[in-house]
Amino acid sequence: MMLGIKNEKEQKVSNDIASLKNAAKEALNEKKEIVPVDALIDLDPWLTPYREPLQKRYDLYKQWFDKLNNSEGSLDNFSKSYLEYGINVTDKGIHYKEWAPNAKEAHFVGDFNNWDPTSHKMNRDEFGTFDIFLPRNADGSLPIKHNTKVKIALTLEDGTVLYRIPAWIRRVTQDLSVSPTYDGIFWYPEEQYVFKNQKPSKPESVRIYEAHVGISSWEGKVNTFKNFTRDVLPRIKDLGYNVIQLMAIMEHPYYASFGYQVTSFFCASSRYGPPEDLKELIDTAHGMGIVVLLDVVHSHACNNVEDGINHFDGTDHQYFHAGGRGRHDLWNSRLFNYGNYETLRFLLSNLRYWLDEFQFDGFRFDGVTSMMYYHHGMGYGFSGNYDEYFGPNTDLEAVVYLMLANKMIHDLYPDAITIAEDVSGMPTLCRPVDEGGVGFDYRLAMAIPDMWIKILKEQKDDDWDMGDICWTLTNRRYKEKTIAYAESHDQALVGDKTLAFWLMDKEMYDFMSELCPRTPIIDRGLALHKMIRLLTHALGGEGYLNFIGNEFGHPEWLDFPREGNGNSFHYARRQFNLVDDDLLRYKFLNNFDRAMQTLESKYGWLHAPQAYISLKHEGDKVIVFERGDLLFIFNFHPTKSFTDYRVGTSWNTPHHIVLNSDRVEYGGHDCIDESVTHFPTDLPWNNRANFLQVYIPCRTCIVLSHE
């Protein structure tokens, strides 16, 4: 009876979709040419009732796009404003330009003029933009010495003088022994870094290694770009990842903020070394065939005044919204006014700067949910109702900024990658801008890690629901690509625990040595860690992400030095020494992670069509699916192993095991004979044309190729 009810519901949904498709087609037939909104609706008929807000959004984007093209010559020119604004060196000297409309006068000050607030007065135009040119000295040298301090002194109408670090500055440094406040630095070394390696092409399958340079040493210290290049890049290459996502690069005053309170948007954090070392890191990665993404924070800005852009010209609304709309109550930060011309110049040029000057290959946009809605996602539970996406809560100006950003990035850099961190599930987020979408290449599948943590916290192994797991892993929008991950930095931060810690924290300190007996907890943890990650990798999206250290089951959470922990670095590190110790079992998880990436590189399931799941057996705890010419079989049962277990397959050629989590080098028990060839039987099974019979021990996964 329940089956019949379910079918009735499915039939009703099918009828509704068919009706919406017909309505969309009729609407298309009425028009002689297809406009972007129609293309979106044709792809997703559930958007039909939202034609008007979609059209309004696209029209607003077009207005801005046309305005910028008309006033600046092109979006290309507009996004290159970093070559005009800020401090730039030319053959003739130094040019400095700054927008500060509330200021009456401005003076360029620093070590070069003994901080004299009356010298080096800047010119002001009608829009409140100040500029000054300092010619080279007679001997050709620059009038400001490299690595010396500079500021702008802004005089307001009431005579108040504000000393500010230039908003577009390229280098700031922090001497904590003197003050936590940053100093603005004129940075122009005699030898400019020259990139040696060509950028790799955009990978078909995106396998992302999410990394934080500062924590990348096993020692308790802030690691450097140089050390990351020398020590960590070879590990990433060896594991088979083809994308690195660098976190916390844009300068932020509080190390423990994980980079999410940016003060100087054009500065690479000085705590890791000079900008030339970051360029060398990216260049070296390119030489290894690895593309590099920047975690960009344009969702908000640090509240700091002395060394940030908040109240830069004495007002609260220069780059930001005024009053309450310009403040994020939960993050205690400032919110950009994306409808402001100069704010768009600042942010779009910021993206262009990182792409041009540092040769980044794209961005992971942080806090996209906060940007797109007036409520910023705070205390809001998205149900999936389309009214939540196209109603009065949506901030069209912010969405249009994201459209402009993606348009600029993808037009000028066709191989660039953009990823949205969005928890809301906004439809059209990952459709091209010219089609009416927001333009991202990928979105993060943020529900997947939440599911795994919830299961491990709240359910016994016998209660795991195979259907619910598969639903969460495959529940994504049609033709909108997703990055799947079992855990990222969010799950590793203090207050939560890594998957390995959830699985084995009771015994990780005492029983991860090969010299110790294998306990049931460690055995379970090693097995499930591998299975969870492969299932997420193969079923969860069109890309995969891993956070630095989690590939080998990093044993502890991540916690930066702060007052609450005595400013300790103990947890602000990645203990690569553990995986390098051949006597410890971390090597098994690392080996399996390498095998996953290597196998995907060969068969390309991430860029293959979404998997067909032929079996979700609740009693046996078995999941079977096909993707990328491979047959995946998972046995999550805690105690039952199955001999001659029948599974369906589309292919009638001999099958061979190409990955097996039970291998000794992966910490398994070596119960599976991989030399066995599995010959399909030409009889239907589980909606597949053929079946074969396999041996699958408990808590084991195998992958078969039909070559």
Pair of tokens at residue 290: 């690895």
| pLDDT for 556 | 85
Q: What pLDDT was estimated at residue 179?
A: 81
Residue partners of 166: CB distance under 8 A and separation at least 6: 86, 87, 96, 98, 150, 151, 152, 184
- Per residue in 624-653, pLDDT tens? 999 999 999 999 999 999 999 999 999 999
Report d(CA 540, CA 139) in Å as an integer.
Answer: 62
Residues 204-217: tens digit of each pLDDT: 999 999 999 999 99
- State the Cα torsion 152-156-160-164 to the nearest 10°: -20
Could you give the CA distance from residue 18 to residue 26 in angstroms, rounded to a whole number?
A: 12
Backbone phi, psi, residue 617, to 5°: -95, 110
If pLDDT is split at 50, 70 and 90, which confidence band does 178 have?
Answer: confident
CATH topology of domain 611-705: Immunoglobulin-like (2.60.40)
**Is the pLDDT confidence value at 695 over 80?**
yes
As given in the structure block, the two tokens for residue 47 are 């958007």
Q: What superfamily would CATH give domain 84-186?
A: Immunoglobulins (2.60.40.10)
CB-CB contact of 286 with 243 (8 Å): no
**Band of pLDDT at residue 7, cut at 50, 70 and 90:** very low
For the chain, what percent of residues have pLDDT higher than 90?
90
Q: Where in the chain is the domain with CATH 2.60.40.10?
A: 84-186
Please answer whether residues 438 and 406 qualify as being in contact, where contact means their C-beta atoms are separated by less than 8 angstroms.
yes
Q: For residues 615 and 625, give the distance between their C-alpha atoms in angstroms, rounded to a whole number.
A: 7
User: How far is the first Cα of the chain from the last one, in angstroms, to the nearest whole number?
Assistant: 42
Q: Which of 177-186, 231-240, 243-252, 399-408 has the lowest mean pLDDT?
A: 177-186
Out of 44, 277, 366, 662, the active site residue is 366
Residue 4: what pLDDT? Answer: 35
Phi-psi region of 198 (alpha: psi -120 to 50; beta: other; left: phi over 0): beta
Q: What is the pLDDT of residue 1?
A: 29
Of 183, 421, 487, 542, the catalytic one is 421
Residue 428 has pLDDT above 50, yes or no: yes
Q: Is the pTM of this model over 0.85?
A: yes
pLDDT score at 26: 55
Q: Are 331 and 300 in contact (CB under 8 A)?
A: yes
H runs (alpha helix) in 73-179 = 75-79
Confidence of residue 529 (pLDDT cuts 50, 70, 90): very high
**pLDDT digits 0-9 by tens, 465-507:** 999 999 999 999 999 999 999 998 887 776 678 899 999 998 9
Please give the pLDDT value at position 5: 36
Beta strands in 438-505 (DSSP E): 442-444, 482-484
Where in the chain is CATH 2.60.40.1180?
611-705
Active site residue 421: yes
> How far apart, in Å, are the Cα atoms of 262 and each of 204, 215, 249, 259, 297?
32, 18, 9, 6, 7
- Write down the pLDDT at residue 12: 52
Residue 447 burial (CB count, 10 A): 14
pLDDT at residue 486, as a whole number = 96
User: How many CB atoms are closer than 10 A to CB 641?
Assistant: 14
Residue 632: in which H helix or E strand, if any? strand 630-635
- Please say if 387 is a catalytic residue: no
User: What's the pLDDT at 19?
Assistant: 59
Quickly tell me which residue has 């300190």 as its tokens.
Answer: 509
Q: Give me the sign of the Cα torsion angle 389, 391, 392, 396.
A: positive
Reported as a single tens digit per residue, the pLDDT across 29-86 is 444 344 689 999 999 999 999 999 999 999 999 999 999 999 999 999 999 999 999 9
What single-letter amino acid sits at 705? S
The predicted pLDDT at position 30 comes to: 46
CA distance 251 to 269: 4
Say what the pLDDT of residue 99 is: 98
Strand partners, 87: 96
